[in-house]
Every structure is written in C-alpha cells, then in structure tokens.
Amino acid sequence: MAIRRLLVISPLFSVNAPQPARFRELVHRWSDRFEVTVVAFDTGGITPAYAGGAIFSLMKFSAAGKLLIGSRLKNRERDLKQLQQAGNSTPDGGIKLRGLIRGLLRRIHINRFFFPDVFLVEYFNIKRHVMALAGRVQPEAIIISVAPFTLMFLSGALKRRFPQLKVVIDAGDPFYGDSSSYSRRLIHRLFAKRVERTGLANADMIVVPTMIMKKHYLACYGDVTDENRIRIIENGISKLFTGIKTARTERVAPFRIVYAGRFYRKMRDPSELYRAVQEFAPGEVHLKVFGNIQEKYLPVASDKRFTAGGALNATDLAREYGESDLVVYLDNAYGVQVPGKVYEVLAVNRPVLYICRDEDSPSYEIVNGSDGIFTVTNDYRSIAAGITAVMKESAGRDYLRGSERYTFDSLAFSYGILLEELISRI
C-alpha cells in the first residue's frame, strides 16, 4: 500500500508548549506510517530542516511577527534559563529589573489587542506558504493545530482551494469557553463562537483531548458538525512518568509533596495550598514547586517547609516525582479545557491530591474513581485534611490507573488509524 502524505501545521513546533510538544511526539511516531511534512516558523530553536522522519518546511516571521511573537519567544526562553540557573538563589539587580519589565509586558496580555490572537499578523504569510506547499506536496490530509486560534480561518480557505483534501482540526483548548481572563468578556465570547463555528464547519474531522470538550462542541456547534466527526485523542504522557517505581515502604520525615505547573490569578491560585502546608510543623511536611512560576506566586523563601525549584525537563521532573510521597494537581477554577498535566500526574505511581472547586471542575470526570486520588477543594482546611489522610495511608503501594492508554505510542497508533480511515473515505 502506498504511503499516505500528511501535512501538519504547527507554527511553534519547537517551542516548549503543550500543543507543539504533543505534535513533536506524534510526528516522530508517524514517520513509518505517513510521509509527513511539518509547517512551522523558524524560531531559532531545536527544529532542524529534517528530523524525526518528517520533512520540515520552515517559515520566517514578518517584521510584525518578529516584534510581537519572535521577541516574546526569546524572552520566554531567557526567563526559563534564568529560572533553571537561579534555583532558590536571589536574583541580582539586573535580572530582577529585567524580570519586572518582562513581567509588566506579560501582564499587558497583548493577545487581547489582536483577534483571534497575535498570530493574526502572520495569517496571510502562513496562508500563502501552506497553499503553495499543499499544491506541491499534494497531501491527502492536513492537520491544523489550532494553537493559535487564528489558524481556524485556514480550514475554509483550504477546502475552497482543495475540495478533495481532508482537513483535520486538532483543538487542544476551546476558543469559546477558554479559561484566560480576557476570553471571558462578552464581546470576545460572541466573536470567538462565530470564528470557531466557521472553522469547525469546514473540517472533515475534529480532534479534541477529552469527552468534556466533545460535549462542549456538540452543545455549541451541533448545527455545523456531529458526533461522528469529533474524535477524542487524549493529551499524551511520557514513558518517563509511567515508569516511576513503587515508593519507599516506610514513611520518613519530612513527608515529601511535589507540585509542577504554573499558577494564574483567580484560575490556579496556590495561596490555600501554601497555607495548608503551614498548618504542619517544620520538618513534618515539605512542598516542592516546579515550573516557570511568577515571583508573586512563589512560597516564602525563608520558610523551610517550601522549595521553589524552577523549571525542569521531563527527566528531572520524573526523578522528583519518584522521590515524592504525594503529587499535587490544582485544577482550573473555570473554563472547559482539561490541562494535559492531569494525565501526567495520574501516570505517576504515587497518591495524588486533586484540588478542585467541585464536581463540575473540568478534570473531575477523568480523575473520579481512580485509585489513590484524594479529592479536596481549594481551601487550606480541606487541603490539610487531604494531606493528613494520605500520610495515614500505607506506604509503598502501587496505583493502577490505566495510564498506559495515554502513552504517545498508544495515542499515535490510534490517531493514525483515524487518519487512514478519513483518507480512505470517499
């Protein structure tokens, strides 16, 4: 059988963000099943002209794109390096000043001035590149990673130019119902719904990460799509996390807790978690937090019950999970998306403290009923009670949660079957 040709549009393919990271894993595993061409911007990152069995067609940023997107990527990469180098040390005055300036620029939320997002300035650049490439490569299917949401517009343009081409929209997050603060404003929500409906209406297949999001799309866009066109391919997890060994069989003070991820105002607030840890005596409990975390959300540096370790790569994070007694997952306070982090913590062979607002929280359907999940609300008393409950549990248990279903090997195989079925459809 002839190898199918597949075109993948992932503008920030080399960037450390959820959707690009997901497609790096998938594309690598599709190389013996499809002839894959990836469209991405040249970000100066790790992406070579040819890698992982895929051919890369790299684009250059326009002048506006360099200013609004490229410069922010460089600042982000520099921030991560500084966090990794600094650890718990106090930054010098120069780093602190630059951090304040970059923090101020981040708080501006530049995306709010561009609809659907800042990639609007690059849309026609992307469109020209994709149209010309599709004409040369003649793929049988094209996957559009709609992170950024501006790429929703591509589905209609592609179907008009290439009506036989199978268009797949891969939506990591919903546009209408997104959890960012400015996305909850009425006018943004009204226009977001219109943009998303137009994009989804022109897709032959829509890939979403959860049943929650599928239900959301059917409720909002059932007039332009249907259940058979919306397929679920979950966010994948690395084998590093599924391979973590059983914990030590005896409790040794301090009780070690790990949280990895970011915090956001009103959406993922760590203050109650920190207050809960402070309910325990020094030396009894120790919380480590990892990630690209703004200074205002870090725990008190002088309190020995806390360690802020900065950003970690997957190998180092798996090691920290392996040395822990408890892993914390703090759910979004609103929005319908489920962060991919939930699959990661479920894969770790440790008890999980799941902090949510109530049973309507986005991740509740996924974690509910899983072995070794301790569900609490984002209140220090509830969190402290949850930690105490875990401390009373027998140490050295194995937690079987079926996480092998969400490895990238498994998901790439399932996704590949869906693509072959779609391409074969007349």
Give the domain ranges of the chain: 4-63+114-236+407-424, 239-404
CA torsion, points 38, 261, 87, 70, in degrees to nearest 10?
40
What would the DSSP string read from start to end of 14-46? TSSSHHHHHHHHHHHHHTTTEEEEEEEE--SSS
SS3 278: coil
For position 46, what pLDDT does the model report? 55
Q: Are 259 and 273 in contact (CB under 8 A)?
A: yes
For position 61, what pLDDT does the model report? 95
- 308 closest CA partner among 260, 342, 349, 264: 260
Region 4-63+114-236+407-424: CATH code: 3.40.50.2000
Please measure the distance between the N-terminal and C-terminal CA atoms of the chain and give it in whole angstroms. 17
What is the topology classification, in CATH, of domain 239-404? Rossmann fold (3.40.50)
* Phi and psi torsions of 222, nearest 5°: -60, -15
Q: Are 360 and 366 in contact (CB under 8 A)?
A: no
- 402 closest CA partner among 377, 369, 375: 369
Name the pTM for this structure. Answer: 0.86
SS3 141: strand
Measured CA to CA, the distance from residue 372 to residue 356 in angstroms comes to 16
Q: Are 398 and 248 in contact (CB under 8 A)?
A: no
For position 89, what pLDDT does the model report? 40
Measured CA to CA, the distance from residue 307 to residue 259 in angstroms comes to 10
Q: What does each of the 426 residues of the chain score in pLDDT, given as a tens digit?
A: 568 999 999 999 988 888 998 999 999 999 889 999 999 999 876 555 445 789 999 999 999 999 889 877 866 655 555 544 544 443 344 445 455 544 545 555 666 678 899 999 999 999 999 999 999 999 999 999 998 999 999 999 999 999 999 999 999 889 987 655 434 567 778 889 999 999 999 999 999 999 989 999 999 999 999 999 999 999 999 889 999 999 988 889 999 999 999 998 888 999 999 999 999 999 999 999 999 898 999 999 999 999 999 989 889 999 999 999 999 999 988 888 888 899 999 999 999 999 998 888 888 989 999 999 999 999 999 999 999 999 999 899 999 898 988 999 999 999 999 999 999 986
- Contacting residues for 240 by C-beta, under 8 A, at least 6 apart: 314, 315, 317, 318
For position 297, what pLDDT does the model report? 95
Q: Return the residue matching tokens 């997104």.
A: 178
Measured CA to CA, the distance from residue 34 to residue 5 in angstroms comes to 6
SS3 236: coil
How far is the CA of 405 from the CAs of 188, 198, 329, 409, in angstroms?
Answer: 36, 32, 20, 9
For position 320, what pLDDT does the model report? 97
* Phi and psi torsions of 295, nearest 5°: -55, -35
Q: Say whether 239-404 and 4-63+114-236+407-424 share the same fold.
A: yes
